[in-house]
Amino acid sequence: MLIPEILVNERALTGEGPSWDMENHLLYWVDIPNAKIFVYNPYTNHNRVINLSNHFSTISAVAPRKSGGLIFTPDRKIAALDLRTEQVTILAEVEHDLPGNRFNDGKCDPAGRFLAGTMKNNPDGDPAGSLYIMEPDFTVRKLLDGLHISNGLGWSPDYRQFYLADSASKSVWAFDYDLEKGEISNQRSAFTLPPGMGVADGLTVDTQGMIWLAMWDGAQITRWNPNTGQYLDIYRFPAKRTSCCVFGGADLDELYVTSAAIGLEEKDHQVYPYNGALMRFRTMYKGMPSFAFAG
């Protein structure tokens, strides 16, 4: 049995959005309701905290930017962050007519576009979320609507398939992906979760094309074959609300896992002592890289 390494016992309310910077060998992640961005250096074990709560109420996703710094999603905005000065530049804002919404998970595609989905800040069953894509010239298009909690983005190794988890659904969706145009089509179920496993949250993909899915309230990461729907493996964690995962390290064989402490009771903390921690374990697999925003 693989024992996860506890890297940062942050006790994040909702740790999320891990993104590995291959060029600088850093891991970026966030605490959504505390509006914090973290920069974790695995060589020094230092976790830099960039607190933007004076400016925003939430930050849900982060990714490296080819021109330097980061792209991230505060509230209903897409913004850039200068890591040296911590200066923020707003690039776009969506859903002006839905002030109760916020962005949730987001990632860059291999062509350097940024995709991110929205949700209600207080989900009530209304499918008010949508999936958006930002081109390197900062123009934004809507790709999909009717989502409850847009989550878990990823691509197949040939980039022809795109994966999306809506946490209100028991299915993880697959789409055909047009990398040249940045468009999705042919929505279908990649696999369906059995009862009692948890809620589908963030995901990543390995070089064999298998999906690694974080299970909110499941204390685990699960591995699936999206081509057959087959459930392959389970990796348990000492955090009840595992929220997202990404491959990192020099060989992309280390799985970094975020988790959340929000909404848990004392008994949950007794059973799962590292709710809200950043964790890691070395795998037998190599993962797909995190891509950078080209704009």
137-192 pLDDT, tens per residue? 999 999 999 999 999 999 999 999 999 999 988 899 999 999 999 999 999 999 99
Annotated active-site residue in 21, 109, 166, 201 = 201
Reduced to 3 states (helix: H, G, I; strand: E, B; else coil), residue 98 is: coil
Q: Check if 251 is active-site.
A: no
C-alpha count within 13 angstroms, C-beta hemisphere, residue 38: 29
The verdict on pTM exceeding 0.75 is yes
pLDDT of residue 180: 97
Architecture of domain 5-282: 6 Propeller (2.120)
Every domain of the chain and the residues it spans: 5-282
Q: Give me the percent of the chain exceeding a pLDDT of 70.
A: 100
Reduced to 3 states (helix: H, G, I; strand: E, B; else coil), residue 145 is: strand
Q: Edge to edge, what strands does the sheet with 129-134 contain?
A: 101-108, 114-120, 129-134, 140-147
pLDDT of residue 1: 61
pLDDT, tens digit (0-9, with 9 covering 90-100), for 110-125:
999 999 999 999 888 8
